[in-house]
Amino acid sequence: MRCPEDFGVADSELTEIVVPNTLRDAKTPEERILQDLQRNGYDEQAIFAIKLALEEALTNAVKHGNQNDPNRQLTIRFLVQPRQVVIAIRDEGVGFTPELLPDPTADENLELPNGRGIMLMFAYMTRIRFNDAGNEVWMLKDLDEDG
């Protein structure tokens, strides 16, 4: 999938990292992105938000998308600019339909142990898009749009 048009970034500007499908290997791109955020002067609140969404997306890709299979891979593409961050994560799984997930904040679901990752990604990023298959997520954090 190409970068969504309204994210305002050309695919050619993105850095791509491919790692084996383990939570430990997923730390490599995460640390790269967090270093770029520090270098670009993001404040503590923005870094907290982006780190949270990024870790949820990586965890979903490793566990649910790639089914913890270490022979599969994760593809991470990203660009950190002073006021805008784009991150894409693709796994090799069959995907899912985000709209079908139950609302974890509904009274009847409040005490379920799972199902909060996607809603936290939506809460903490400016925009989230999935490809049609549901095995690739694009996340935008835009400090100007967030206000």
- Residue ranges in contact with another protein by CB under 8 A: 23-24, 44-45, 48, 51-52, 55-56, 59, 104-105, 110-117, 119-120, 123
The distance of closest approach from Cβ of residue 132 to another protein in the complex, given in angstroms and rounded to an integer, is 24
Cβ distance 86 to 78 under 8 Å?
A: yes
Distance, CA of 3 to CA of 1 (rounded, Å): 7
The distance of closest approach from Cβ of residue 10 to another protein in the complex, given in angstroms and rounded to an integer, is 32
**C-beta of 85 vs 121, nearer to another protein:** 121
Q: Which of 135, 121, 35, 21 is nearest to 78 (CA)?
A: 35
Q: In this structure, what token pair is assigned to residue 69?
A: 């299979």
**C-beta of 93 vs 117, nearer to another protein:** 117
The distance of closest approach from Cβ of residue 120 to another protein in the complex, given in angstroms and rounded to an integer, is 6
**C-beta of 56 vs 142, nearer to another protein:** 56
Q: For the packed helices 44-60 and 23-39, what is the interaxial angle rounded to 10 degrees?
A: 160
**C-beta of 9 vs 118, nearer to another protein:** 118
The distance of closest approach from Cβ of residue 69 to another protein in the complex, given in angstroms and rounded to an integer, is 17
The distance of closest approach from Cβ of residue 34 to another protein in the complex, given in angstroms and rounded to an integer, is 11
**C-beta of 45 vs 71, nearer to another protein:** 45
